[in-house]
Amino acid sequence: MDMVVYSYNVDKGMAFQLARAVAQGYCKYLARPLVTSLKCFRASHLPRSAWDEQRQQWNARKILEHFILQSAMTCNNLYEDVSVGGYAGAEACLNPEHCTKLFRKESSIHCCHPTKQLTLLVVDISCFVPPMTEVFGVAISGEGCLVNIKETLNDVSAMIKVSMHEMGHVLGLDHCCNPACVMAFSEDLFQLNHKQREPCKGCLSKLEYIHPLLSSLIVET
């Protein structure tokens, strides 16, 4: 499955690092790979329809929906040093052989997305999801997620936790009541820093239950 990665106001290398951490972080839990190739873009702008003039903030869900649509429109036409729909510098960050070595392991994972494509958007902006005024991220199950590093204060470990949390939602997990689980809801950086990077045993059991039922949606490559 492809993962299309966008960065806005964030170094593209950092976005790639987070995408790889997510793929490797989940690969040991389920039976199919999360990612077979990564394609990275630097986004030159955000959709104006996602700007809330009254709040003076960006609507994170509207941004994510825009980029998921953008991924669907352009994922088969990404070339290095070409601007596609305003998103410049597209390139395949991993060649197929390298991808196979990194992600196609015996203990790797698969996703329920029927089109075999995920979107990861990494941004550094002030954004909200009603009724919350500031968010670490937002996810759409089976489609993709937005990770906002603004509130992490450049802490890479915190960025990875947010990325793992949001991708967990993409894979079908809900918020967890275990405060140490990566799927626990975090109101602030203090709570985020006290979580682990990985799902708890309960959430892993849910993943093991969810994905065999959804495997018929996925065609092996």
CATH number at residue 211: 3.40.390.10
Residue 181 has pLDDT above 90, yes or no: yes
Q: Is 147 in contact with 18 (CB distance < 8 Å)? A: yes
Q: Is the pLDDT of residue 16 over 90?
A: yes
Among 107, 77, 105, CA closest to 92: 77
Tell me 39's DSSP state. E
3-state secondary structure (DSSP) of residue 165: helix
Range with lowest mean pLDDT among 91-95, 104-108, 109-113, 123-127: 104-108
CA of residue 74 relative to chain centroid, distance: 18
So what's the pLDDT on residue 61?
97
Which of the four pLDDT bands, split at 50, 70 and 90, describes residue 209? Answer: confident
Banded pLDDT at 212 (limits 50, 70, 90): low
Q: Residue 207's domain spans which residues?
A: 2-217
Q: What is the pLDDT of residue 31?
A: 61
Q: Cα separations (Å) of 208 from 28, 34, 73, 88, 214?
A: 12, 14, 32, 38, 11
Q: Judge contact between 200 and 176, C-beta under 8 A.
A: yes
For the ranges 72-76, 120-124, 152-156, the one whose mean pLDDT is highest = 120-124
- Cα(147)–Cα(159) distance, integer angstroms: 8
Mean pLDDT across the stretch 44-67? Answer: 96
**Dist CA 216 CA 214 (whole Å):** 5
Average confidence (pLDDT) over 12-36: 83
Q: Write down the residue that tokens 């967990």 correspond to.
A: 168
Residue with tokens 């682990």, as numbered in its chain: 196
Residue 30 pLDDT: 65
For the chain, how many structural domains are there in total? 1
